Amino acid sequence: MVVSYIGLWRILLEKGLQKQDLVEHAGLSSATVAKMGIGESVSNKVLEKVCAYLESSVNDIISYE
């Protein structure tokens, strides 16, 4: 099973945000954002931070292929 963060990248684009905003405002490390950029799994804690920052649900930001 492969994790896809296409929903996350779409939300960032819609809100006029960049990956760096996740580092600066959601409290993620640049290494974690890089992992997400290549489709690697991240912890539930990371997903919670992203969802809180973007005011979205996990189902909005990830999907499994």
Give the span between the Cα atoms of 36 and 26, in whole angstroms: 14
Q: How far is CA 59 from CA 4, 19, 24, 31, in A?
A: 11, 19, 23, 23
Instruction: Specify the pLDDT at position 54.
Output: 97
Q: What is residue 64's three-state secondary structure?
A: strand
Q: What is the mean pLDDT of the chain?
A: 95
Secondary structure class of 34 (helix, strand, coil): helix
Beta strand pairing status for 63-64 and 3-4? antiparallel
Residues of the chain with pLDDT under 50: none
State pTM to two decimals. 0.90
